[in-house]
Structure 1
């Protein structure tokens, strides 16, 4: 079994996936992808999904960190990303961190940068694909920093009882999600007022260092060509299990589209759909892959 992560270093969601690989102490191939479109080698595998990161396990492709973490949990159940006592409540906390709070942290970090700091290609890409308006973001920095500091204050208070991680003595999905938001602010806008205030929170600072110490497992550099060859030589999971409540049937041609994204939908033959996940089969030209998505945040449309 060969694990490949398609990512780029500055991506906060990629950092979450890298930490999950570290928590699981896994060896993986690291394929660095562009941070803007086009991403032709990635799209060969995903069929159109171009967000970062994407996990590849042989010929099974996982899009979005929710699907990625589920795949890693299945590959290496221990240590779990969902330890007691919180268990799956970790997902709910991580979901909040990865939604509105993610936008606030990204806005506070990037909006505070001097004009012209970000490459124009990046600005244009994010506006077209995600609707980011960096000029508007800059004007909203005081409000966005207030949102960041509210969640940081709550987290610092949570950790003030001496617990090592959000759920107790073991790190979980929620820790990784909150950490990556703060990691992005501290890394991209380290001189901002928000970054300085976060660094001054004692319980939060010690926790941040503990999560950092988890590391990224054992990455090995690899090329996109190697990743495509790995997929071509492997056999994906083509099992079928379609929830009848979904209104779809196995084998039906469908398109899967990320809500709020300007990316093209991914078309393929429906394999599985249920409350927690979607999988479709598609031909890359050199073999068949199974492309997996979380159910939350993804639309399944008739082909």
Structure 2
């Protein structure tokens, strides 16, 4: 199998979600660091416009969004499982809550804390993705967001009092999704004191942090693009079109996140299911790419 390549940057919350899964599963991976801000000239040839981090690359197959990435890793290495078969629905519900609501509670107060050390222009870059990510909006939202984050930390503390992980004895995608906002708080001693004040939550955090960095080696962006250029999409077979689905394989479509970020990716559908869409696209610098997205959280329209 081709190498597993993660395009990310160190401070990315969502990349930490995937880094924890890779470490837990003991999957060897290659690290390609991408810029925190646009432009991202070594990423867009792979994604066709999608700029969020992380992105997973396996040869000429490119996976966008952590929900899609996590499920591909589960397919590649089912054990140890991150999607418990009897609690898959519950794990996905917690994942969605953490990736959206909990994350939005943590980010504003953390950005305020980190603001003096952030790269110049970062919030201007983010405000182009959504007005809610402007400096004014984030600073205005921070006090209320922190009050809500405290309530979420209390709920996690209560859930963890009698178990090592959120769903029981084993780490799952629910833990990975809840970990990354708490991990982001780790970058402020003042705010991380909120975690330390909750002993079950602090022990859970240390348990997951104890997985370590995993089996990771660095790779340059140029090397990753060369790998894509030399490969052909491989993960394009199978899948069933959901009943009532208006889209069909072969349709030329535009894919865009439904929450923030105006960037679009375009391609022709090669696989379609209730949970995932795969499109094939051509880029002059890397050739044929299969681009994979989850259906949840993305608008798909015909070109």
The bucket for the TM-score relative to the shorter chain is over 0.9
Structure-2 separation of matches of 1:32 and 1:74: 25
Distance 1:157 1:191, change over 3 A: same
Give the superposition deviation at 1:157.
Answer: 1.1
Structure-2 separation of matches of 1:85 and 1:245: 27
Q: Deviations over 1:24-51 (max 9, x none)?
A: 1011110000000000110000111100
Structure-2 separation of matches of 1:38 and 1:125: 10
Partner of 2:247: 248
Note if 1:106 corresponds to 2:107: yes
More displaced 10-residue stretch of structure 1: 261-270 or 164-173: 261-270
Structure-2 separation of matches of 1:63 and 1:101: 21
Q: CA RMSD in A?
A: 1.6
TM-score normalised by L of structure 2: 0.93
Partner of 2:263: 264
Paired residue secondary structure (1:41) = coil
Give the superposition deviation at 1:113.
Answer: 4.1
Give the superposition deviation at 1:244.
Answer: 5.6
Give the superposition deviation at 1:235.
Answer: 2.4
1:189-208 maps to which residues of 2 (within 5 A)? 189-192=188-191, 195-208=192-205
Match of 1:209 among 187, 206, 210: 206
Distance 1:144 1:170, change over 3 A: same
Give the superposition deviation at 1:190.
Answer: 2.1
Structure-1 separation of matches of 2:196 and 2:51: 33
| Structure 2 unaligned regions, length at least 5 | none
Q: Deviations over 1:221-255 (max 9, x none)?
A: 00111111111222213336544622112111111
| Structure 1 unaligned regions, length at least 5 | none
1:60-139 maps to which residues of 2 (within 5 A)? 60-83=61-84, 86-113=87-114, 116-131=116-131, 132-139=133-140
Partner of 1:37: 38
Structure-1 separation of matches of 2:85 and 2:150: 28
Note if 1:283 corresponds to 2:282: yes
Structure-2 separation of matches of 1:280 and 1:288: 10
Structure-2 separation of matches of 1:139 and 1:254: 37
Distance 1:95 1:292, change over 3 A: same
Is the contact between residue 124 and residue 135 of structure 2 (CA under 8 Å) also seen in structure 1? Answer: no
Structure-1 separation of matches of 2:114 and 2:62: 35
Paired residue secondary structure (1:40) = coil
Give the superposition deviation at 1:198.
Answer: 1.7
